[in-house]
Structure 1
Amino acid sequence: MIHKGIKPDAVTYSSLIVTLGKEGMLTEARYVFDAMIQRGIEPNAVTYNSLIDGYCLQNKMDEAVKVFNMMLERGCLPFVFSYNILINGYCRIKKINEATSLYQEMSKNRIIPDVVTHTSLMGGLCRVGRPQAVLELLHKMLEFGQHPDLQTCAVLLDGLCKNQLLIQAMTLFQQMEEKRLDHDIVVLNILIGAMCNAVKLLIARELFCSLPTKGLQPDVSTYITMVKGLCNEGLIN
């Protein structure tokens, strides 16, 4: 383009950075980003977020934060999506203190966390074995007037089960049933697996048999989980 006398604009640069970021070509994406600034073309929020997301996906959180700080310094105000990217990145590598700090920073900057923010942070808290903090965060989420979606419920259910809080998990599942958020094989597999691991095979069997009533079919994971649970108890010859 440049050789032909066509000057790329902000949209052109941003599109290229987005594409390179998705392909994991961060060195090239950063080169284009720097060239964009050198030519006096100011990146927008989409440009910054694409580069931040690329670094987060490769667990390069220090680089991601540098770009985020540059975003602030150059007067491009972040919105909830920018914070969500960083929070999810930290949660994926179990740096929950950093993720929590960003969550608190959002409130100070009058940026309201959304369902994605809370779901990511809940997942991070589950990974580090802090189920009580997860439940507290759920209450905060409800205070914001936000209701858990299927993804949030799946994260919560998985966290409760992995921390052996089966009573709370079943209570959550019953609430999901009331809201018809239980019609998902992944959710049922989580609960069936937890019951099999806890040697509560009667409950696991009831959940398994309830699948057709929910319009669901067992998948490979469902069968493997049930067979393994029965074998461990010597119920299959």
Structure 2
Amino acid sequence: MLEKSFAMDFVPDIVSVTKVVEGLCKAGRVTEAAEVLDRVECMGASLDVVAYNTLIKGFCGVGKVKVGIHFLKQMESRGSLPNVDTYNILISGFCYSGMLDLALDLFNDMKTDGIRWNFATFDTIIRGLCSKGRIDEGFSILELMEESKEGSGGHISPYNSIIYGLFKQNRFDEAVEFLTKLGKMFPRAVDRSMTIFEHCKQGSIDDAKRVYDQMIDEGGVPSILVYDCLVHRLSENSCVREAVELMNEMIANNCFPVPSTFNAIIAGFCRQEKVESALKFMEDITARECETNAETYGPLINVTCKKGDLQKALQLFLEMVEKGIIPNYFIWNSLLLNLSQENYFKNKNMINIHDLL
């Protein structure tokens, strides 16, 4: 329809054109989307900030954030001034791509250009910094947010990002202490979290899940501490499928799992001797670029050895070594004990274990 319009020298209004651009961007066809806007402009129509923002978001969505910067400069040169949404989209893109210094440069440029930071700006950059381990800078931005006119706006998400950053660095006690200090600001969220921890500690997983469901029904956003605690207890209580579902909810809330979280699920599958489920789950988390470690492979190698599938155990062992993961005592013990019992050392077609030793 758009091509027919162009053929008749008719340019649809910018709202209709933007809808087409949005559809193309969602389908990953960002180059075509850029061509559409270029043709519209060549036909004498003016583009507004919403159209540019839609295109910039499209390029950020496919990881081409620097192309988004090109269109930012283009819109400025053509008299269409960027707004806070333009910067937020680009900051989010840089954070997602791991280019945090460029995200911080844009954050500072906003102040220079007279564009006021809003909650989305703070929330995005705090999450980006903390997820990559730059906790101190995350705290600094959090202080700026609290000093600003808008503040947190009653949203707990930037504080959960701080907790997530501390947790990823194994600063568990600091994370719990920080959560506790939020009691005055978010009394209901903190109370629900502490209740869940207590139920999990006592082994009352059904009660813990009930409080979690209540928290979600009230519109609460759990922290990584709540998710991690529940995933561990569900996995230990043979509710591994529920643990997987909970981890998926966690990811949907921009809270990506740390190794200890998904390792608990793999260990849970292995205790039930559901090797295929454990392997499929490991494939899924690897596809999501989650970093595995020795504790990921240990239960898998152990259970495959117990089931007599030593070929699979050796395959997992080699895969692990190729990734540069150092086997721990548990892995060596499982593998060597079973290989020696099966007399595999004499089989020239198998891996030469004493060379690896």
Structure 1 length normalisation: TM-score? Answer: 0.78
Amino acid at match of 1:48: Y
Check the 8 A contact 2:91/2:125 in 1, yes or no: yes
Check the 8 A contact 1:94/1:127 in 2, yes or no: no
- Between structure 1 and structure 2, the one with the greater Rg is 2
2:29 corresponds to? 25
- Give the aligned residue type for 2:39: A
Q: Which has the higher contact order (CA 8 A, sep 6+)?
A: 1
| 1:17–1:50 Cα contact (<8 Å) kept | yes
Aligned partners of 1:22 and 1:28: how far apart in 2?
12
Letter in structure 2 aligned against 1:165: R
In structure 2, give the amino acid aligned to 1:159. Answer: G
Partner of 2:315: none
Q: CA 1:94–1:85 in 2, change beyond 3 Å: closer, same or farther?
A: same
- In the other structure, the counterpart of 2:74 is 70
Q: Could you say what the CA RMSD is over the residues aligned between the two structures, in angstroms?
A: 3.4
Deviation at 1:11, TM superposition (A): 2.3
Give a deviation string over 1:6-41, Cα, whole Å, max 9, x none: 542222222211221122211220110110111111
Code of the residue aligned with 2:96 in structure 1: it is R
- Within 5 Å, which residues of 2 pair with 1:32-111? 32-111=36-115
Quick one: distance in 1 between partners of 2:36 and 2:97? 28
Alignment of 1:134-145 (within 5 A): 134-145=138-149
Name the aligned partner's letter for residue 156 of structure 1: I
Distance 1:212 1:69 in 2: 51
Q: 2:232 aligns with which of 195, 206, 225?
A: 225
Shift of 1:134: 0.9
Partner-residue secondary structure (3-state), 1:112: coil
Which whole-Å CA distance do the structure 2 matches of 1:184 and 1:27 have between them? Answer: 49
Which of these residues, 157, 161, 164, is aligned with residue 167 of structure 2? 161
Q: Which secondary structure does the structure 1 equivalent of 2:189 belong to?
A: coil
Unaligned regions of 5+ residues in structure 1, if any?
A: 193-201, 233-237
One-letter code aligned to 1:154: N
Letter in 1 for 2:135: P
Where does residue 198 of structure 1 map in the other structure?
Answer: none
User: Where does the alignment leave 5 or more consecutive residues of structure 2 unmatched?
Assistant: 217-225, 237-263, 269-294, 296-357
**Counterpart position of 2:304:** none
TM-score (norm 2): 0.54
For the Cα contact (< 8 Å) 2:11–2:45, is it kept in 1? no
For residues 172 and 179 of structure 2, what CA distance do their matches in structure 1 show? Answer: 10
Which of 205, 221, 225 aligns to 2:201? It is 205
Figure out how many residues of one structure are paired with residues of the other and give that number: 220
Question: Within the alignment, does 1:182 sit opposite 2:178 as a pair?
Answer: no
1:120 corresponds to which of 124, 137, 158: 124
SS in 1 for 2:117: coil
* C-alpha contact 1:53 1:64 (8 A) present in aligned 2: yes
**TM-aligned CA deviation for residue 206 of structure 1:** 6.4
